[in-house]
Chain A
Amino acid sequence: MKNKRRYINVEHLLSFICFALIIGLWCVLSFGGMVSELFLPSPVAVAKRIVELYKDGSLWANCFESTARVVVGWFWSVVVALPCGMLMANSRKFSAFIQPIIEFARYLPVVALVPLTLLYLGIDETQKYTIIFLGTFFQLVLMVCDTVSGVDANLINAAKTLGAGKWQVYKEVIFPAALPGLMDDFRLTIGWAWTYLVVAEMVAAQNGLGYMILRSQRYLATDTIFAGLILIGLIGLITDFLFRLLTRIVAPWHERLTDK
């Protein structure tokens, strides 16, 4: 136990050192005048910009809009992918029916679908959600299917010989057994959802971090671009942390290799 605590602190320290090194390098490059301010704004300039965004209220507004888009789009992708993936893992027929189209769709570049979504859905929020849904859904279905297929057959057999019916096996065994793996899948896909955010806010958006970054490009406002990137990264870190926490709460029984 004692050992473990110390270990975690060393790990935290290493993570911190990594960030410190990058910021240090950034300082050297910009304050040392090695790279022009236009390409690489100084850390101070970016910090100032973030404070400005905070003061004029656009920081929270943009963070909120973008987070809402990511979460709603991702949420629908989870809602549809979860039953689809579970069915795929447990029914050969369903898998044969749906797998080819999913594999096909998985390779379509989401950017190329933007014109169609605009044509079909217009420019409101639904179009943004759809982009994020399309970007994450097809991957997630396959991940869910994989995770569910990996559930120990011994557990399923034990449940059957204890009298569990088909639905009970799903509800009482497959779902709880797969839960830690599913949480990982969800955590990874919400990360990808953030990468599709910029695609979603590329056209016909009036707010959001992706929009802020794209617009800044037009005015060569690199400090704003950096501010936006840092904010997205920070939100990502927080999301990741929350997911790990949530996994520990919903599956406290789960042992990870890194726990040992």
Chain B
Amino acid sequence: MEQYRLQAIDLTKVYEDGKKGLVTAIDRVNLEVKDGEFVMIVGPSGCGKTTLINILGGLNTATSGEVLLDGKPVQGPGADRGMVFQGYSLFPWLTVQKNVEFGLKMKKMPKAQRAEQAKKFIDLVGLTGFENALPKQLSGGMKQRVAIARTLANEPEILLMDEPFGALDAQTRVVMQELLADISKKTKTTILFITHDIDEAVLLGDRIYVMSRRPGTIREVLDVNIPGVRSHESLVLPEFLATKKKIMDMLWQESMDAAMDQ
């Protein structure tokens, strides 16, 4: 049997909502992420993407099913699964440097080593010179750069990202996507990235899981074959457009079905 970095087996989450009764957010989701792979999950808003990634990250518990990291079941959050959230989750009282050092401090890494490691990742995200800035002095894009550096500095087994660029303006978003594509190539970090943006999914992913509307299930898995380095120029390649069309058709079908149901 092939060993996966991360594996989700039959994950189901049923919320008990006071008003609506039982709400099935995700239903028997299975997925695998291989070592060094950049995997995308794309699905319409409200289909259970955040629920899924929070279960993988240990911030939420599944009603049934299992999460395996390197073949071993995991429970609760841990430094082995780093997360980057849509909302800026920087610690506002810490400088950029101290934010990036946070996980290392939790691990009780010695001060000097901590500083050096943090510098390396601040440099990787292009924020050298901003070490002593406070989060409130940074733009949205810069904040997410810090969040990425903070998570990567911790050297997690896998990086879980929940619509990390969703709150950014279109131009900044493309810049950040290119940065992330570059980081993934340089560091060979295994990444699972969630989005509702089809362009983003096709631009970044080696493989894409397409989710159905709620209750979220995996509808299809696609391999992405786009030649060359992924950048804004990839957005007009025929391979890009072909894959984008396929996903659009699937999601279009989903919304048609949703409309028919009502």
Contact = CB atoms under 8 A, between A and B. Distances in A.
Interface in A157-207: 157-165, 168, 172-173, 176-177, 179
Nearest to A250: B93
Interface string B44-82: 000000000000011100000000000000001111011
Nearest to B154: A162
A161 B81 contact: yes
B172 interface: no
B103 A253 contact: no
Given A161-B59, A163-B107, A168-B106, A154 B87 contact: yes
A161 B79 CA distance: 5
Interface of A: 152, 154-155, 157-165, 168, 172-173, 176-177, 179, 251, 253-255
A123 B144 CA distance: 61
A176 B93 contact: yes
A162 B82 contact: yes
B106 A163 contact: yes
Interface in B69-128: 76-79, 81-83, 85, 87, 89-93, 102-103, 105-107
B76 to A, nearest CB: 8
Contacts of A157: 59, 77, 83, 85, 89
| Those 5 A-B pairs whose CB atoms lie nearest each other, nearest first | A163-B79, A162-B103, A158-B89, A160-B77, A161-B83
A165 B89 contact: no
Greatest chain A CB density within 10 A among B57, B81, B106 is at: B106
A165 B76 CA distance: 11
Contacts of B82: 161-162
Interface residues of B, number: 30
B46 to A, nearest CB: 19
Nearest to A162: B103
A40 B33 CA distance: 82
A162 B83 CA distance: 8
A159 B76 CA distance: 13
Given A155-B89, A161-B79, A177-B93, A253 B154 contact: no
Given A158-B85, A253-B136, 17 more contacts: A152-B89, A154-B85, A160-B59, A160-B76, A161-B57, A161-B59, A161-B77, A161-B151, A163-B78, A163-B79, A163-B103, A172-B105, A177-B93, A179-B93, A253-B92, A253-B93, A255-B136
Given A155-B91, A176-B93, A251-B93, A162 B85 contact: no
Contacts of A176: 91, 93
A7 B103 CA distance: 42
